[in-house]
Amino acid sequence: MKKPMMWSPLALVMAGIALPAAAKAPLTESYQCGVTTPTPIHAIQGDGARSPLVPDGKYSSDKTYAVQGVVTAVTQGLYKGVWIQDPQGDGNPATSDGLFVYLRDAQQLDLAPGDTLCASGKVKEYYGHTQLGVTDGQVAKGAYQGDVLPTAIRVGAEESLYQALERYEGMKVTMDADSELVITRNFGFDYDAFRNNMVLTHQAPLYKPTQLYPALTPGAEALAEKNAQNQLYIETDNKAKDGEIPYFPGLDAEQGYLRIGDRIERLSGVLGYSYGQYRLVATNTITAGDIVHRNDRQAAPKTVTGTDIKVASFNVLNYFTSASAVGGPLNVTCEDQADADANRGCNRGAKTAAEFELQRSKIVNALTAMDADIVGLMEIENNGFAAGSAIDDLVTQLNAQFADPRDHYQFVEPSEAEKNQGAYFGSDAIMVGMIYRPATVALAGNAQAIPMPEQHISGESPDGETKTLDKYQRDSLLQRFMINDQPLSVVVNHFKSKGSGCYEDWVAGEFDSETADLQGRCNEFRVSAAVALRDRLNTVDGDVLILGDLNAYAQEDPVRVLTDYQRTEGQRDILTAAGTEIRGVPMHATGQPVEYGLGYTNLATDWLGDKAYSYSFSGELGALDHALANASLASKVVGVEEWHINSVESTLFEYSRKYTGDLVKSNNAFSSSDHDPVLISLDYPEPVVPVSVTVNNRSILPIVPLLNGQKSPAHAWMKWRSVREFDQRSPLVQSLDLKRDDRITVSVKALGLFPVYCGSAPAEEPMTVKYTGFRCQLTQAL
């Protein structure tokens, strides 16, 4: 089994200088096809992960072998050499019929697909890639044989994608519907390779192991291993130009798009292996018709029947207004305007007017389509709440989309006591925020900050190096609303990211690498945040909804602490971070085991299943954006949706021009951020007004009772000495659509002709009416 290896820019450089010196020798004219009887390509490849001609423990054969094959590709970028294939093959699907011939000066032979290539050299296992290294220029061009047709990739029922691809190594291959190869990482910039590429997987996109299983459990470890064996990188020989996909020239933000989960067909290329991954170097182009959208774009979230209130969470991807080209106030971290305009300054968002206008249009269009009554925001600039601030700008532009003032939004502004320096919410360049529709929901009291832990501690790494760690998290924002006389508390959060290390990572030697538990760096610090949030929300009554980017997948420790975790003997403990404090008050000097969770329901996994997702990282899907409800609120949920407008789309269509060249973009909602919005539909019906009206007919005349001038749609007549009762279940009462503080006026029509007024009372008050013959009296119950 081939072992994965890291591919870094340094490794790429090293690959160019650490190749066999013999292969760099100039080509000669002395070698000719037919001089030496060639060894069949399938005999060189064998039916295993290594060539049978290369002794175990070595990377090169002891002997020199001659080969002959038809050229399928000549590459001088990612791989330097010629790809040849036996067009007949040996008929054994377990052995490859193709081979890569390492040849830096292949252009001297003027080779083209269909030509014959003859070469002699040693067989090598170059970091797992079976190839022939030409010896002393022993290579020649032979007769033209015609193009070799590509072989469609097939993955057997009992084999992994890696195992299947080994059978095609070196060959010209293609993919069709039965190949079942789908996008698991969209085309974009790969920081490991420092080039744009894309990754396919077999049958379905990959999921983060800790989205489905708790850390360090057999399930998580098995899925991590399975994911590692289920990837095919799609490359181009030469580094793609910014904003272009060489094998898909029809890339377009509106029509020719790629989404994670799409099946790719008719893409062909030669199959190599380098830096721990199989890589198909594309040799043709495809069109939009070769892309099968299995979960296509959805123009707007679904409309859920029975929804009274819709609440959403949306990470707005560094919505900043402080650049001089935009003109907003500086955020709390800025030294001056030059700092906000600098390439790596305090402004993390758009730096040009054009980029900001695109970003704003995309975000506003997404929010307009979401049409939520309350929205929790993450990654909005912390530059105050005055005119031109990020949150003010967003609300102003959003309201311009709605003609009816009842659809307009306002932002939640913390009280002066909660602000930093009288203007900001917290001390980071970004903050969490909240917007709402006053026509639909009403504020109940001031917004409150829930302070998050800080970490201040020194530690020693396994290498003996000492480091002082000062780490911070953004405060959470809590706002209570009243909805039809019922309270709902919404708390918006943005926990510490996985991108930089904390104390626990430093002392474990994982400060700059993937953590062994696959939960990412600063996991314990996020656990401390979850504990602080848990303890604060235990004091809040009524319905409570936790929203936001917790930077933790569904089965990772911080989410478990907020849901159903219970410490159990014999199982791995969930630990808080060491050296923590909250606003100067010590929290935990050393990591402490968490005893119990908050007990909230993870609405996405509850409604959508374990494979709910809002984010994609490194080719794996998972949910970082959560909506967690306490029991009373969970019973009011009628719908949950993760609107997949961002996580599965290409980053090339985001507002930033970095790495996108002249690509034409769109102001549509797709790629408006890198996180998907999460929408929760809630049932908050208006309270039913209790009604009790009793009508007694003590007259010999038949009468028709009227409530607010309306008669009952059925059985209207009342005979002598009859009694009729009306309550909130009566069709007549329901037709009145009564609200709190409404009144009911009761009258009767004698013989159905002569109106007689009885009286009026508040609708909620029980009342009795007695008609005695041209006289009617209403009595309220005491």
Which secondary structure element, helix H or strand E, spans residue 359, and what is its range? helix 353-370
More confident residue, 386 or 686: 386
Q: Is 355 helix (H, G, I), strand (E, B) or coil?
A: helix
Query: Is pLDDT of 157 > 90?
Result: yes
User: What are 441-497's pLDDT values in tens digits?
Assistant: 999 999 999 999 999 999 999 999 999 999 999 999 999 999 998 999 999 999 999
Give strand ranges (E) for 12-128: 65-76, 80-85, 98-102, 115-126
The reported pLDDT for the residue numbered 26 is 57
CA distance 116 to 491: 68
Report which residue type is found at 149.
Answer: L
User: What are 194-210's pLDDT values in tens digits?
Assistant: 888 999 999 999 999 99
Cβ 312 vs Cβ 678: under 8 Å? yes
Mean pLDDT score, 64-85: 96
The reported pLDDT for the residue numbered 28 is 56
The reported pLDDT for the residue numbered 782 is 59
Report the chain's terminal Cα–Cα distance, integer Å. 86
With a CB cutoff of 8 Å and minimum separation 6, the contacts of 523 are 215, 498, 504, 515, 517, 552, 556, 557, 558
CA distance 715 to 694: 15
The reported pLDDT for the residue numbered 29 is 57
CA angle at residue 37 from 36 to 40, to 5 degrees?
130
Query: Is pLDDT of 234 > 60?
Result: yes
CA distance 59 to 48: 15
User: What are 240-269's pLDDT values in tens digits?
Assistant: 999 999 999 999 999 999 999 999 999 999
CA distance 619 to 611: 15
CA distance 485 to 602: 26
Distance of CA 489 to the CA centre of its chain: 25
User: What are 618-641's pLDDT values in tens digits?
Assistant: 999 999 999 999 999 999 999 999
- Mean pLDDT is highest, among 186-200, 404-418, 746-760, for 404-418
User: What are 15-72's pLDDT values in tens digits?
Assistant: 333 344 334 445 655 788 888 899 999 999 999 999 999 999 999 999 999 999 999 9
Mean per-residue pLDDT of the chain: 94
Read off the tokens for 353. Answer: 């007017």
Q: Is 528 helix (H, G, I), strand (E, B) or coil?
A: helix
The reported pLDDT for the residue numbered 633 is 98
How much is the pTM?
0.89
Query: Is pLDDT of 14 > 50?
Result: no
With a CB cutoff of 8 Å and minimum separation 6, the contacts of 396 are none
Residue among 87, 94, 152 at smallest CA distance from 117: 87
With a CB cutoff of 8 Å and minimum separation 6, the contacts of 124 are 20, 54, 59, 60, 61, 102, 130, 131, 132, 133
CA distance 49 to 167: 9
The reported pLDDT for the residue numbered 10 is 35
